[in-house]
Amino acid sequence: MSINFNNKKFIRIVNIAFVVLLITVLIPNKGKFKYEYQRGRPWLYETLVAPVDFPILKSDSELRNERNKVAADISPNYNHKSETVVLSEISTLLRENLPDSAAAKLYETIFNLYRNGIADELPDSSYIGGVITMLSDGEKLFVQQKKITASREAYSKIKDVAEELQPANPHIMAVLFPSGFVLPNMIYDKNTTQKTLREEVSRISPTKGIIYSGQLIVSNGEIITAETEQILDSFRAEYELSMGFSGSLLLLKLGHMIVTLAIILVFLALVSFLAPEIYSDPKSMNFLYLLFIIVIITSSLVMDTSNRYLLILPYSVVALYLYSFFRSSIVIPVYAMLLMPVVFISSGGFEIYFINLVAGSAASYTFRYWDRGWLQFINSIFIFLILSAIYSSLRLLEEGALVFNDGRVFLYFAWNSLLVIAAYPFLFLFEKIFGLVSSSRLRDLSDATSPLLTRLAVEAPGTFHHSLQVASLAEGAAREIGANLLLTRVGALYHDIGKLSNPSFFIENIPAGEVNAHKNLTPEESASVILRHVDEGFAIAKKMKIPAVVSDFILTHHGKSQTVYFYNQYVNQGGDPSMIDKFTYKGSLPLSKEQVIVMMADAVEAASRTLANHTKENISRLVDKMIDDRINENQLAEADVTIKEINTIREVMKRKLSQSYHARIVYPDRKR
């Protein structure tokens, strides 16, 4: 039995095996803590007894309170700077400018302020110790904080005394202190103060007691209190730090492999059912596999630091990637599967999974409105609000009140939402690597001022107008059956760009009254010119670097149909009916819903121009005929479209054409 290495199924199996093995290797070699618990809920497992001695870890709030207390008690450090020279200069100035009695009283005020201490910076308001440390000539002194005066405050006090003693000499302060403030003799030593604070904080014990081996932790059915939860958290930390996984590493990896394979298989089943066009496209599947791997790598790396830091990871950007490359109907289910590994590789993974699932799902919906420029910041704020709201709701379920053990979680959510903006530009790198086309790229292509559409509007205005009408019809149908709206519009706008090679040979570009370019050609020659617009359009698209997913519409909008007008003319002139191949397009049959819609819209819009009377009945018969002809000619034989969807497309086009060719009133002439 030989193996066909080019077989798609074989390649798919190899890809799956590679992804599963890679993920298995990347997942940390840690056994997952087997207990899940929440405060306020009953303990659902057997009675738990401590297998080893382990310390009880203080909660984040307890550690924070202790650090705040230490910070409030730390004595600020100051360096003493001799005031002798300054006082001597002030004494001289006072004697020169004031009477002896006034000079003596003012000097006494200044001297007392310097003796108690004039500081450049007072201790922080959180400091409540009452004493500061001052280093003077290598000697450490302790000074009462209440006696110290800030430089600006000292200036104000001296000014008040001076004005009281010598109201007739208002310029004395400018003479004494020309700089506008009193030079301090106590300089705040920020570095020494912070060093002392760090040393004291480092002495804070992270634990508060010990649980001994054999001691009861929690009984079956017991409601988990805050104290019990703290002990369980401590036990989990001890397990992950020192106890760890004690079983067979080989069996652990086997378990990882089986779970990963199960997730991948469910994921593949989901994609094949919801989006077979993605499932059959290797580039799209490789991109989805990469997202799987990125989720696992980033989660594993962050977990090595702290499980709480998983809240910072911008998982929501994965949903935005999916929305940018694929149709919106599959984004949320695929996103939910891509996040699934988080549940299995992290402690408390379900909460992280659920919070980010809701935030990413909501963001993928709002992104359609807030996906350009500064509006992305609005979407980021929205993500932050959703993350915070869901987290708060979970706390309500546990506590029955909005009690947050760690307020920093909202800072994590803020970083999460900002990182979504930072990570989104990688979309364009993925677009380049995997040859995918993002909604941003499609939106640029749909702009009527893009180079190719501008050229079409100038050189083939009739074709440009026809393309706009086809795009309008196609958009309406795509919206109704859940196809990719933007891709359908772009495909419709570019489907006829091949007519740029010979615009005057197409009826819509021939002005009224001018000679038809086909007048002097045989039916075979005319058909050859018309048929070539498909190949020429594809060549133009390739030259202009139009994405393949768009240029495919050029190849499929006529499928393998015939130029019926010239074929009938050829046969009526005595030509051989068996030579139909000369009048048949050499394009491809449509595969996707979007390509089917554009094929039908193109045929219906062109044929509607031939109607003399655009009544509802005539339009209905025309649409039915054009669509039924495509079905009967097997043009949809390979298309991923159902009868129900075809009928929906049929009804949408009837409705939109009826609206386009609505009746208008005749304006009466004014009687003279």
In angstroms, the Cα distances linking 337 to 244, 544, 647 are 28, 37, 33
Q: Which CATH architecture has domain 439-660?
A: Orthogonal Bundle (1.10)
The neighbour count for residue 73, using CB atoms within 10 Å, is: 13
Q: How far apart are CA 579 and CA 571, in angstroms?
A: 9
What is the bridge-based pairing of β-strands 139-144 and 149-150?
unpaired
Whether the predicted pLDDT of 271 surpasses 50: yes
Residue 186: is its pLDDT beyond 80?
yes
> What is the structure's pLDDT at 244?
52
Which residues touch 293 (CB under 8 Å, ≥6 apart)?
19, 22, 23, 26
Which candidate, 229, 221, 167, places its Cα nearest to that of 39?
229
Neighbours of 139 (CB within 10 A): 8
- pLDDT of 304: 67
Domain range summary for the chain, segments of one domain joined by +: 8-24+247-434, 32-58+205-243, 68-202, 439-660
pLDDT at 28 over 70: no
Helix axes 593-608, 548-556, angle to 10 degrees: 50
Does 31 score more than 80 pLDDT? no
3-state secondary structure of 131: strand
| Residue 309: burial class (beta carbons within 10 Å; 0-12, 13-18, 19+) | middle
Q: Which residue has the higher pLDDT, 300 or 459?
A: 459
End-to-end CA, the chain: 96
Q: What is the pLDDT of residue 170?
A: 66
Measured between alpha carbons, how far is 225 from 103 in angstroms, rounded to an integer? Answer: 71
627 vs 635: CA distance, rounded Å: 10
What pLDDT, on a 0 to 100 scale, did the predictor assign at position 3?
A: 45
Are 181 and 151 spatial neighbours (Cβ–Cβ below 8 Å)? Answer: yes
Give the range among 22-26, 137-141, 240-244, 272-276 with minimum mean pLDDT: 240-244
240: its two tokens: 């992950």
3-class DSSP state of 258: helix
At 618-641, the pLDDT tens digits run 889 999 999 999 999 898 888 888
Does position 513 have pLDDT exceeding 80, yes or no? no
* pLDDT (0 to 100) of residue 243: 52
> Tens digits of per-residue pLDDT, 483-501?
888 899 999 999 999 999 8
52 pLDDT tier (thresholds 50, 70, 90): confident
| C-alpha to C-alpha distance for 536 and 542, rounded to whole angstroms | 10
Q: What is the mean pLDDT of residues 88-117?
A: 86
* 505 in Cβ contact with 518 (< 8 Å): yes
pLDDT at position 493 is 93
Dig out the tokens for 646 from the structure: 């075809």
Span of 63-72, 369-378, 436-445 with lowest mean pLDDT: 369-378
% helix / strand / coil in the chain, to the nearest 5?
65, 5, 30
Q: Note the pLDDT of residue 648.
A: 93
Cα–Cα distances in angstroms (integers) from residue 316 to residues 297, 355, 375, in the given order: 16, 10, 16
Q: Are 638 and 589 in contact (CB under 8 A)?
A: yes
pLDDT at 672: 66
- Say yes or no to pLDDT of 482 above 50: yes
Strand 48-49 to strand 216-218: parallel, antiparallel, or no bridges (unpaired)? antiparallel
The per-residue pLDDT for 2 is 46
The partner residues of 562 in beta bridges, in order of sequence, read 584
For the entire predicted model, the pTM comes to 0.63
pLDDT tens digits for range 65-77:
888 888 877 888 8
pLDDT of 218-258, one tens digit each?
888 888 888 888 888 888 777 766 655 555 667 777 877 88
Q: How many CA atoms lie within 13 A of 667 on its CB side?
A: 2
**Backbone dihedral angles phi then psi of residue 613, each to the nearest 5 degrees:** -130, 115
Q: Tell me, what DSSP letter sits at residue 450? A: S
Q: Which residues pair with 131 in a beta bridge?
A: 144
Query: Which pair of tokens denotes residue 342?
Result: 């988080």
- Flag whether pLDDT at 33 surpasses 70: no
Mean pLDDT (the chain, rounded): 83
**How many CB atoms sit inside 10 A of residue 58's CB?**
19
**Three-state DSSP state, 662:** coil
Residue 209: CB atoms within 10 Å: 10
Assigned token pair, 397: 């379920």
Comparing 406 with 1, the larger pLDDT belongs to 406
Residue 41, by phi and psi: left (phi above 0), alpha (psi -120 to 50) or beta? beta
Query: pLDDT tens for residues 588-625?
Result: 899 888 999 999 999 999 888 888 787 888 889 999 99
Q: Span 61-88, mean pLDDT?
A: 84
118 DSSP β-pair partners: 149
Q: Which two tokens stand for residue 141?
A: 């002194």
pLDDT above 50: residue 388:
yes
Q: Are 412 and 309 in contact (CB under 8 A)?
A: yes
Q: Give pLDDT, residue 240.
A: 66
Mean pLDDT of 40-54: 83
pLDDT band per the 50, 70, 90 thresholds, residue 554:
very high
φ/ψ bin of 102: left (φ > 0), alpha (ψ from -120 to 50), beta (otherwise) = alpha
Distances (CA, A) of 148 to 181, 235, 475, 594: 16, 50, 77, 79
Cβ distance 134 to 142 under 8 Å?
Answer: yes
Residue 130 reports pLDDT greater than 80? no
Q: What is the pLDDT of residues 523-551, one digit of tens each?
A: 888 889 889 999 999 999 999 988 888 99
- Mutual angle of helices 316-325 and 349-366, in 10-degree steps: 40
665 band by pLDDT with thresholds 50, 70 and 90: low
CA-to-CA separations, 39 to 231, 352, 395, 399, 514, in angstroms, rounded: 12, 17, 9, 7, 84
> Length of the chain in residues, anyone?
672
Displacement of CA 519 from its chain's centroid (Å): 58
Is residue 529 within 8 A of residue 495, CB to CB? The reply is: no
Output DSSP code: residue 140: E
Report the percent of the chain where pLDDT is more than 90: 13
Q: What is the DSSP letter of 624?
A: H
One-letter amino acid of 421: I
* Interatomic CA distance for residues 185 and 151, integer angstroms: 9
Q: What angle do CA 440, 278, 281 make, to 5 degrees?
A: 100
Say whether pLDDT at 5 is over 60. Answer: no
